Structure 1
Amino acid sequence: MTAAPERAGGALRIDRLVTSGTFSLDGGTWDVDNNVWIVGNDEECVVIDPAHDAAAVAAAVGGRKLKAILLTHGHDDHIGSVGDFWDLVQAPIHLNQADWMLWRNLYPEVDPDADISHGDVFDVAGSKLKALHTPGHSPGSVCFYLPGNGATEGTVFTGDTLFRGGPGATGRSFSSFPTIIDSIRTWLLPLPPGTVVRTGHGDSTTIGAEAPQLDDWIARGH
């Protein structure tokens, strides 16, 4: 597990915490590393996808006010530790309602606190995170866009929708390759080319680095 601050200008900062665990698919289980993103300043923050290690994520939040737990989608490697994390921090959990059926596979007795709709804005540390509904990897997949501040062109937290080198996997139940391509084309690629893409797994990239590859992704079919 590693943690490294990534500055985003001004008082706002973006912290990346890499946690390790497993995910399950079609009866199999695989090891996986997840990126947990903490966006805020010294006083308050939001957490995007507190995966695997609830105690480590809570420690990274520290004494700050946690305004929201934002989930990019409902697959088990991203939400499996949310219950334990909530027990430690008791902040509202937000998940697009199209993925609540995935949530209920793990938490059948309690729903998230709030739906995430396209265009919803989350205020944190004087900045605004805008939710973009980007289905395809799952029906309720959401990205969170943080506009630039003049010195930068901003960043977008893409969960498993867009990675360095292509879209997220669409071999799981309720996934769709044409849908994820449409989501990326419509909502992500029009962002400024310098926008940093901070992903759910692996290294970051930029919109400008990924946009020219769209036709290649479509041709290969994944």
Structure 2
Amino acid sequence: MAARIDHLVTSGTFALDGGEWDVDNNVWIVGDDTEAVVIDAAHDAAAIEAALGGRTLRAIICTHAHNDHIDAAPALADATGAPILLHPDDLPLWERTHPDRAPDGELADGQELEVAGTRLTVLHTPGHAPGAVCLHAPELGTVFTGDTLFQGGPGATGRSFSHFPTIIDSIRDRLLTLPPETAVRTGHGDSTSIGAEAPQLQDWINRGH
């Protein structure tokens, strides 16, 4: 059976630089009827485990380490035995949320993860966070962008560990090079496509340089 993409929305709080905001997060599950990976274990480990429906969880993949994307990761790992994978450049952010529990493995640019016969290629896309990554699944015609690219433009860069010119470079060099029909499945809000975002992103690129 070919891999499919399941989608769950969880709600909680994003906290950074002394502020807190209520947020809804997209949790993406990629797999088949027997195994899966979770992209961003946000807020509610029990709900994510229920959505897995008894499938073997191969990995918990973190697009970055802002607390709203990783707060449920340790509990989900404990419940399933799955390793938590994070790009090492985001360890300083991870440690703010989970000082006593390190990730189990590292993500690296160009690394390929496989689940249910489907490849997920890691694209290091810093800017929103130093260790932010996107996950390109060409067989599914999809890229999971975390908070790097949204419907309407780049992710926020107004807080600690973020940098606007860097996120613009990441989007231009790593995401706009993907096929225009590629679906963009984001960390918050509605999905979009590379082709839909490319024209307006040129305006952001001009502003950033």
- Does structure 1 conserve the Cα–Cα contact (< 8 Å) formed by 2:127 and 2:163? yes
Structure 2: gaps (5+ residues): none
Give the stretch that moved more between structures: 83-92 or 167-176: 83-92
1:211 and 2:179 aligned: no
Gaps of at least 5 residues in structure 1 are 1-9
1:141 corresponds to which residue? 132
Q: TM-score, normalised by structure 2?
A: 0.96
User: What does residue range 186-205 of structure 1 map to in structure 2 within 5 Å?
Assistant: 186-205=173-192
Q: Please give the alpha-carbon distance, in whole angstroms, between the structure 2 residues aligned to 1:201 and 1:172.
A: 17
- CA distance in 2: counterparts of 1:214 and 1:90, whole angstroms: 40
Contact 2:132 2:148 (C-alpha < 8 Å) held by counterparts: yes
- Within 2, Cα distance between the matches of 1:21 and 1:220? 32
After TM superposition, give the deviation of residue 220 of structure 1 in Å.
5.2
1:79-130 deviations in whole A, cap 9, x for unaligned? 1111221221120110000001111112222211111000111111111000
SS of alignment partner, residue 118 of structure 1: coil
Q: Secondary structure at the match of 1:203?
A: coil
- Report runs of 4+ in structure 1 exceeding 4 Å deviation: none
TM, length-normalised to structure 1: 0.91
Counterpart residue type for residue 209 of structure 1: A
Superposition pairs of residues 23-38 of structure 1, within 5 angstroms? 23-38=14-29
Determine helix, strand or coil for the equivalent of 1:218.
helix
Contact (CA 8 Å) 2:180, 2:193: kept in 1 or not? Answer: yes
Q: Deviations over 1:173-205 (max 9, x none)?
A: 010000000000000001000000000000000
Q: For 2:49 and 2:153, how far apart are their aligned partners in 1?
A: 31
Q: Deviations over 1:39-95 (max 9, x none)?
A: 000011000001011100001112111111000000011011112212211201100
Q: Which amino acid aligns with 2:195?
A: G
